[in-house]
Structure formats: C-alpha cells, structure tokens
Amino acid sequence: MDHISVQTENFSQADCYSLLHNPANTEAKYGAVVTFTGIVRDFSKTKSLKALELEQYPAMTKLAMQNLVSTAKVKFDIGYVVLIHRVGYLAANEQIVFVGVSSIHRKAAFDAAQFLMDRLKNDVPLWKKEIDINGNEQWVEAKDSDIKAGEKWSTD
C-alpha cells in the first residue's frame, strides 16, 4: 500500500518494504520493487559534519509529496509508492529519506524512484542546515545539478 510521511522519527526499511511487497496480498501483481534510502553524510565539500537540521513548511510539505506521488502514478506504470522524509535534528549517518516503488516490470519502478527523488529536491519545501563538528551552522545552498535534474523531467 502507499505511504507518505514527514516525520522526526527514524523509519525501518523492512517495514517500508513490507508495504511495497506483501506476499499475502494476492491482488498485487508486481514483479519489481525499487528502493532508495538517503543517509546524512558526515562531510561536505569543505568540512566534517556532525548533523543536519531539517526545516519544513508543515502545512505544505506532505501536500507537495502527495502531489509528486500522484504525478508519478500518472507518468509511470507503477503500483505502490512509499515516500518518507525526516525533519528536525538528524545526526551524521542517520537515515533521512526513503523512496520505494513497486511495478510489474523493473524499468517503471527505477524511473519513478529517480523521478520522485529528482523532483523532491525541487518541489518539496524542506531546507537543510549543516552543523559542523565545531557546532557552526550553515544553510545548504540549492545545487544547480539538482535543479537541472528536476527540470529534465518536465520536458520529457
């Protein structure tokens, strides 16, 4: 089944996977599950990082994620989607984001997972602040490469 969540608490990949593929659900005729998990890096280009602080626009974040999933379901021949993003204080090496997609054949699930991640980085109101090992804080600037990756889907 689908599951979309913005949350402070960690998530279990096993729980996410069981939403995408449940052997007892004989209604679901899917032959592929693709998942991606994002991890908080302990380094940036210039320094060692202790954590990230994720800010969100609470009234809009989940709505934007739901819209992305709806768009993905129109664009690709896919089954279930699980999309989870964590907010708040996240220490280095913690899980931050999960995208999972089921489909009949693998290509649609790979493409939809890529689409969801690329567009999430452009359309969902979340902002990262880096906290380095000395406790200094700095907002992360949006990367041109992420903006271009998101834009390429709108011209396909």
Partner 1 sequence: MIKVLFFAQIKDVLGVSELVINADNIKTVSDIADEIAKDYPKWELVSNTQPCLCAVNQTLTDFSNPVKSGDEVAFFPPVTGG
Residue ranges in contact with partner 1 by CB under 8 A: 38, 54-55, 57, 59-60, 63-64, 85, 96-97, 117, 120-129, 139-142, 146-147
d(CA 76, CA 97): 21
CA proximity to 55, closest of 145, 150, 131: 131
d(CA 25, CA 147): 38
User: In whole angstroms, how close is the CB of 120 to partner 1 at the nearest point?
Assistant: 5
User: In whole angstroms, how close is the CB of 134 to partner 1 at the nearest point?
Assistant: 19
Strand locations in 13-105 (E): 32-39, 49-56, 78-86, 88-91, 95-103
Q: Which residue lies nearer to partner 1 by CB, 3 or 129?
A: 129
Residues 6+ positions from 144 with CB-CB distance below 8 Å: none
Q: Which residue lies nearer to partner 1 by CB, 20 or 54?
A: 54
Q: Which residue lies nearer to partner 1 by CB, 26 or 46?
A: 46
User: In whole angstroms, how close is the CB of 138 to partner 1 at the nearest point?
Assistant: 10
Tell me the β-bridge partners of 49. 132
User: In whole angstroms, how close is the CB of 118 to partner 1 at the nearest point?
Assistant: 9
Q: Which residue lies nearer to partner 1 by CB, 64 or 104?
A: 64
